[in-house]
Chains A and B, each alone.
Chain A
């Protein structure tokens, strides 16, 4: 199938492309940009007038509670590649499970799924998982998801082992002992509402120790979902001194603060918690500077999991379909240029994951998102494809709507 996408504003952050350029697709790949290759006859023409044509979005963390619905939600949100953390049920610690996930998702032909394998067996934090076998089955990195490695010696060994084969490790930096039974940022709101607090030092202690262990082992480290100004400052300093460390900030932490908990609103329960407005400003600055990428932290939670007192409610929110509009909102509020903003959800996460995605050079896979940056839509249960309908942005109007998503040159969403 030969397809051409015409009249759109093509933005390819990685290759510094930004202009009204037509895109020509053949055999699932980008065949040419600007002018058609000799003898190119399009079987399908997509008119992108008034829209933006950019690489399909790459998401660093998507929980797939139901693979069909969530991958449909992904492409509806313009996401064409996503990393799935290993805290599935059962956890991704067996090559067979990874293989099945890869096959099932590939058969659907929607977004491409990149599994993150379990770092330790059963995510128990004690015995190393078979990383080499898991990598052969398709894992692109290893993590503990939200489970701690209680014994630092085990973490050191896990990093050494991963570094042996050049695998990347992702950690969510939160010291489980300092976080204890906390459910909200240890600050004004938690004090007022009588919620057990998670202090900022739960993050900084974990960031510091992870950075030290990564330095000692030379492993490539990604710190997932930073929440605090002090935590991001440590990563910023480590990057400046040449450490191989990356990090991301979720769309929720980019926009919300502890104040959004209001009167115990369980849709604002996140792990790590939403913190103070000064923390949010530091996270925004880090994303603007390229210190951090943006993730959807997509975590579908059903209604029963949220209709509970705040501390008992499940943390997390649906995010795949909000990744683009909330990135655009941040860019708009901070006057960040669109190509820079799009880099944070395309080429940057692709580089972090070490996958070939998030760019549209000739020869690249034709994974493409076409969106209308001005089109406004209301976030509602009906509008969302995801099984997770819970989000603090429910009933809000957001700008930025995906018109068409292509994976490997095939239209998988829209027209």
Chain B
């Protein structure tokens, strides 16, 4: 089965998932992002790589923060950015997803940045573009259902590489609601592709997908076991609607069992870094003292995120 995000030469034509992304492609994106990092510190924060190109931010699900990071990245590459809040316009009038795409292609879109509540929606768009012979239009998945958020996964890899370098020597613990997390899935695949020494998934059974062990992950239900001697800790956001119900009894009990406190953090390696995709729930999954502490790299993640998204868009536009 052909991986729909790679062309016949093995080059990236869409970024749909970190699943099946070859190590060389990931490394290429991270190296390119490194070169873009400096641009954001200049007085004139622009390069002309996407000049004349139209990037459509197609958000079928609201997310101001993610949309903004893509918008900044595209603008720093000199692209024209069009933001469409599709959740409130065409689909509400009964237009299908692919009708919307056809219309925007007719407006000469060069790239779609897609956020959708349904897992796999960006694949549907990419396959449709191929079917109608528009391989020159690229799709970037900005989060689809529980499936993937590949730019977040890649910026997490960028962050780890920035602080830790050699993945083969690392123990990475991902803690929290992995079942519903597209970030966790993107991290798991990217970590595997980069040859990470040990990857642990930590959480109660209700928040872990089945068959995780088949993805090369060590499953830990006990936070202390999961954090012991870890080099990297990735905390996941717990959605409000999952805090009180059949998945978890309460936010308080969750924090008690799985919250990252200074005492728990002390079990990891002394130089361990703490990551979080944001936005954080202080006092639910992470203690403020840890979130604001010296080991947290949560704000650098945001900065790196712009560079990684610039890298992805420039590579896609070049292929």
Q: Are A304 and B211 in contact (CB under 8 A)?
A: no
* Distance A309 CA – B1 CA, assembled complex (angstroms): 19
Q: Are A264 and B119 in contact (CB under 8 A)?
A: yes
B98 at the interface (CB under 8 A from A): yes
> Shortest beta-carbon distance, B175 to chain A, in Å?
17
The interface stretch among B40-48, B140-148, B159-167 is B140-148
* Distance A304 CA – B211 CA, assembled complex (angstroms): 33
Q: Are A309 and B119 in contact (CB under 8 A)?
A: yes
> Shortest beta-carbon distance, B184 to chain A, in Å?
9
* Most chain A Cβ neighbours within 10 Å, of B118, B120, B185, B209: B120
Interface size class of A (residues with CB under 8 A): 20 to 34
Other-chain contact of A308, B1, B97, B148 (Cβ < 8 Å): B97
* Most chain A Cβ neighbours within 10 Å, of B96, B98, B124: B124
CB contact under 8 A between A190 and B209, given known A263-B4, A308-B97, A310-B118:
yes
CB contact under 8 A between A307 and B123, given known A188-B211, A263-B1:
no
Q: Are B119 and A195 in contact (CB under 8 A)?
A: yes
Q: Are A197 and B209 in contact (CB under 8 A)?
A: yes
* Distance A194 CA – B98 CA, assembled complex (angstroms): 22
B75 at the interface (CB under 8 A from A): no
A193 at the interface (CB under 8 A from B): yes
Q: Are B120 and A187 in contact (CB under 8 A)?
A: no
Q: Are B214 and A194 in contact (CB under 8 A)?
A: no
Residues in A with CB closer than 8 Å to B185 are 192, 194
* Distance A186 CA – B124 CA, assembled complex (angstroms): 22
B212 at the interface (CB under 8 A from A): yes
* Most chain A Cβ neighbours within 10 Å, of B118, B145, B146: B118
A156-182 residues with Cβ-Cβ distance < 8 A to B are: none
Residues in B with CB closer than 8 Å to A195 are 119-120, 145-147
A311 at the interface (CB under 8 A from B): yes
> Shortest beta-carbon distance, A172 to chain B, in Å?
23
Q: Are B215 and A192 in contact (CB under 8 A)?
A: yes
> Shortest beta-carbon distance, A267 to chain B, in Å?
12
* Distance A196 CA – B97 CA, assembled complex (angstroms): 21
Smallest CB-CB separation from A261: which chain B residue? B120
Known contacts A195-B145, A311-B145; can you find 19 more A-B pairs with CB under 8 A? A186-B210, A188-B210, A188-B211, A190-B210, A191-B210, A193-B120, A194-B148, A195-B120, A197-B209, A197-B210, A264-B119, A264-B123, A308-B96, A309-B97, A309-B120, A309-B121, A309-B124, A309-B145, A311-B120
A residues whose Cβ falls under 8 Å from a Cβ of B: 186-188, 190-197, 199, 262-264, 304, 307-312
The 6 listed contacts between A and B (C-beta, < 8 Å) are A191-B215, A192-B19, A262-B1, A309-B120, A311-B120, A311-B145
